[in-house]
């Protein structure tokens, strides 16, 4: 699929996949690669477009116009995205120009608040839309989990996607000792993936993880307990971040 270059990108301050003025319970249009739908919200008309290559997912607005004179206008918004059948599973916010990791085939609901500006006039509109994505997953799908084994905390990174994850990196950050701490030779891990690790920070380069593969890093529980872990890869969209 050719790179998607939105001419009027949305400012995304919440989470989003796609949007329309159709009721959420209506049968949503299928999205295999990309889809644009004419929309109207208050005095604004625009095309709401979404597209995915199976790894990344993007949303953008095209041809926004306002009022009967069809003047160009500015549309920004805040967004909430969740699977239709699981409203408590909300995906992370998406900032302007970023892509969301494609969550895979399924039906999703979008609830959006729109800010529309034109000719010095600003209005707010609320819209809800269901969208059905049919494209199969591509790219890596990374996750991590920590398990206590006797006196070691084992952090394991897995790739459940259909493609290898390249340039996989984890950062384990425990700032409990970061401010005003005396110098020490203690290290959170002695694993060769994590050269230069100390009691506060471990930066680990895990290389390439094949589909279905995993890499583990042993950590000292007393130093890694409650640490924050951030996981990234060269060809993975977004990053995962959570506290142990």
Q: SS3 for 68-81, per residue?
A: CCCEECEEEEEEEE
More confident residue, 67 or 242: 242
Per-residue pLDDT at 180 exceeds 50? no
Give the highest mean pLDDT range of 45-49, 108-112, 144-148, 179-183.
Answer: 144-148
pLDDT above 90 covers a percentage of the chain that reads: 29
Mean pLDDT over residues 53-72, rounded? 77
Tokens 């790219």 belong to residue: 139
**pLDDT-derived band of residue 241, with 50, 70 and 90 as boundaries?**
confident
Q: Which of the listed residues 133, 161, 191 is the one where a domain comes to its end?
A: 133
Phi and psi at residue 68, to the nearest 5°: -70, -20
pLDDT above 70 covers a percentage of the chain that reads: 73
Per-residue pLDDT at 113 exceeds 80? no
Q: What's the confidence (pLDDT) of residue 154?
A: 96
Per-residue pLDDT at 164 exceeds 90? yes
Three-state secondary structure call for residue 222: helix
Model confidence pLDDT, tens digit, residues 133-158: 888 888 999 999 999 998 999 999 99
Residue 110 shares a structural domain with residue 202:
no
**Spatial strand order in the sheet of 201-209:** 201-209, 165-173, 228-232, 240-243
Residue 119 shares a structural domain with residue 63:
yes
Residue 170 shares a structural domain with residue 151:
yes
**pLDDT-derived band of residue 159, with 50, 70 and 90 as boundaries?**
very high
For the ranges 15-29, 190-204, 209-223, which has the lowest average pLDDT? 15-29
**C-alpha span between 228 and 241 (Å, rounded):** 7
For the ranges 23-32, 166-175, 197-206, which has the lowest average pLDDT? 23-32
Nearest Cα to Cα of residue 169 among 128, 202, 147, 136: 202
Per-residue pLDDT at 94 exceeds 70? no
Phi and psi at residue 221, to the nearest 5°: -60, -35
How many domains would you assign to the chain? 2
Per-residue pLDDT at 93 exceeds 60? no
Beta strand pairing call for 142-149 and 152-159? antiparallel
Task: Report, in angstroms and rounded to the nearest whole number, the Rg of the chain calculated over CA atoms.
Answer: 22
Helix (H) or strand (E) holding 223: helix 221-224
Per-residue pLDDT at 165 exceeds 70? yes
Q: Does residue 83 lie in a domain region?
A: yes
Residue 174 shares a structural domain with residue 121:
no
Residue 55 shares a structural domain with residue 126:
yes
- Residue 217 structural domain: 142-243
Residue 55 shares a structural domain with residue 83:
yes
- Residue 223, judged by CB atoms within 10 A of its CB (0-12, 13-18, 19+), counts as buried
């Amino acid at each position: 699929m050719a790179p998607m270059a939105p001419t009027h990108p949305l400012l995304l301050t919440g989470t989003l996949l796609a949007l329309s003025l159709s009721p959420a319970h209506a049968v949503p249009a299928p999205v295999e690669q990309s889809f644009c739908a004419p929309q109207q919200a208050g005095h604004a008309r625009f095309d709401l477009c979404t597209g995915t290559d199976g790894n990344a997912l993007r949303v953008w607005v095209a041809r926004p116009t306002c009022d009967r004179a069809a003047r160009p206008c500015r549309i920004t918004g805040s967004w909430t995205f969740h699977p239709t059948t699981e409203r408590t599973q909300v995906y992370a916010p998406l900032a302007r120009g970023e892509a969301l990791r494609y969550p895979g085939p399924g039906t999703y609901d979008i609830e959006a608040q729109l800010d529309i500006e034109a000719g010095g006039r600003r209005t707010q509109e609320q819209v809800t839309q269901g969208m059905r994505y049919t494209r199969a997953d591509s790219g890596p799908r990374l996750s991590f989990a920590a398990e206590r084994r006797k006196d070691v905390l084992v952090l394991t990174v897995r790739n459940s996607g259909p493609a290898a994850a390249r340039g996989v990196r984890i950062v384990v950050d425990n700032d409990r000792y970061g401010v005003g701490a005396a110098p020490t030779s203690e290290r959170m891990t002695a694993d060769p993936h994590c050269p230069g690790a100390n009691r506060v920070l471990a930066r680990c380069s895990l290389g390439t993880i094949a589909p279905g593969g995993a890499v583990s890093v042993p950590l000292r529980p007393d130093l890694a307990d409650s640490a924050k872990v951030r996981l990234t890869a060269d060809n993975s969209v977004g990053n995962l971040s959570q506290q142990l």
